[in-house]
């Protein structure tokens, strides 16, 4: 007897391929959907939508499951991309992958599946759920709960993460054993609509940067930038600053962006004090655990794959204030901080300011 009808998001990668395989082996009635979230496929090596769809089609044939393609491009531009540009103009560095999960993969995709009579949706994310709660995947190097913290619990209740209890090596091994065409396909590392193309090159198609000065911590001019929208805190590459007397080989890093003066502050050495902060405040918080106390101790991470950092968490209305036990490097406004109790994800918020 079938465990239910599930629509799996088939991206054309090995993770979603093995997810579909496992669901079928577990007794679900499986069908697949390829989400097209970006229309501008220019055929460049950076844009792989066409190739990914062909791989998804091959997998659906191999697993003998129906596949359809649905475009959520309009919703993506309105609810993800427009916010991405807005945040860049405000001097922050947004994380569109988190917003894509919240607004597209676990809202529009979910709504589509429910409207078609499916019992569940499924993806190839490394995480798992238990009674509506979200937990880390067991593979610490691949855990993706950071990107999933803003999903509504009612959606989590209807979501299956078949890879949550597997390590990546095992997933590829299973794909090879079954002869799946995606078994050795390289993981996608680019932002979902940008791909792996150079970030400034892509952003310059939509935003115009105003050139300005680059200064050091003593406010001495050491170079020029092409526009603050093209830089993020902690950035090392693409600064165009040479060495200085006494430290010619010590690299430079972005430490501050000042929109009021259009000045970019850079410092030498990845351990420079101006790169570190130990307090932050957030906006747009989303809590998966609704009964949290106003103040408590837990752990948090300010970027994907960062180890959990001990901290004190204060929640006041729609804002969250976090003080870390030790200074954190390159905490970046616009990115997300996600809080945990052990392996349980409690939610998170967008970093608004740092101290």
- 192, 266, 311, 345: the catalytic one is 192
What residues does 103 pair with on adjacent strands?
none
Please give the structure tokens belonging to residue 222: 């050491």
Active site residue 100: yes
Please give the structure tokens belonging to residue 294: 């106003």
DSSP 216: -
Q: First and final CA of the chain: distance in angstroms?
A: 57
The answer to whether 41 touches 47, Cβ cutoff 8 Å, is yes
What residues does 70 pair with on adjacent strands?
35
- Going from the C-alpha of 93 to that of each of 23, 37, 218, 273, 285, the distances in angstroms are 37, 21, 25, 21, 17
User: Helices 14-25 and 49-63 sit at what angle, rounded to 10 degrees?
Assistant: 20
59, exposed or middle or buried, with CB in 10 Å at 0-12, 13-18, 19+?
buried
Please give the structure tokens belonging to residue 218: 């003593």
Distance CA 11, CA 17 (A): 8
DSSP 230: G
- 100, 266, 311, 345: the catalytic one is 100
Active site residue 192: yes
Please give the structure tokens belonging to residue 73: 């491009």
On the CB side of 86, CA atoms within 13 Å amount to 8
On the CB side of 155, CA atoms within 13 Å amount to 22
Distance CA 23, CA 18 (A): 8
The answer to whether 244 touches 266, Cβ cutoff 8 Å, is no
What residues are annotated to the active site? 100, 192
């Amino acid at each position: 007897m079938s465990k239910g009808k599930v629509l799996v998001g088939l991206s054309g990668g090995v993770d979603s391929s093995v997810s579909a395989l496992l669901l079928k082996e577990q007794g679900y009635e499986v069908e697949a959907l390829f989400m097209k979230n970006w229309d501008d496929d220019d055929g460049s090596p950076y844009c792989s939508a066409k190739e990914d769809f062909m791989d998804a089609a091959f997998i659906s044939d191999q697993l003998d499951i129906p596949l359809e393609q649905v475009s959520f491009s309009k919703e993506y531009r309105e609810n993800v991309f427009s916010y991405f540009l807005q945040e860049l103009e405000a001097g922050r560095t947004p994380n569109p992958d988190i917003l894509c999960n919240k607004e597209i993969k676990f809202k529009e995709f979910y709504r589509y599946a429910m409207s078609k009579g499916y019992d569940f949706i499924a993806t190839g994310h490394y995480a798992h759920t238990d009674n509506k709660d979200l937990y880390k995947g067991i593979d610490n190097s691949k855990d993706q709960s950071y990107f999933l913290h803003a999903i509504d619990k009612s959606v989590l209740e209807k979501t299956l993460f078949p890879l949550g209890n597997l390590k990546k090596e095992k997933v590829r091994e299973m794909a090879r054993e079954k002869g799946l065409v995606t078994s050795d396909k390289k993981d996608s590392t680019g932002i979902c609509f940008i791909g792996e193309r150079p970030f400034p090159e892509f952003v310059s198609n939509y935003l115009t940067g105003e050139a300005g000065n680059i200064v050091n911590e003593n406010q001495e001019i050491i170079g020029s930038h092409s526009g603050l929208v093209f830089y993020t805190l902690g950035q090392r590459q693409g600064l165009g600053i040479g060495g200085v007397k006494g430290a010619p080989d010590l690299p430079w890093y972005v430490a501050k962006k000042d929109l009021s003066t259009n000045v970019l502050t850079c410092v030498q050495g990845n351990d420079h004090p101006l790169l570190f902060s130990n307090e932050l405040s957030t906006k747009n918080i989303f809590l998966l655990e609704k009964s949290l106390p106003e103040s408590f101790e837990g752990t948090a991470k300010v970027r994907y794959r960062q180890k959990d950092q001990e901290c004190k968490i204060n929640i006041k209305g729609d804002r969250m204030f976090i003080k870390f036990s030790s200074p954190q490097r390159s905490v970046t406004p616009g990115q997300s901080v996600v809080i945990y109790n052990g392996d349980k994800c409690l939610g998170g918020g967008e970093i608004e300011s740092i101290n």
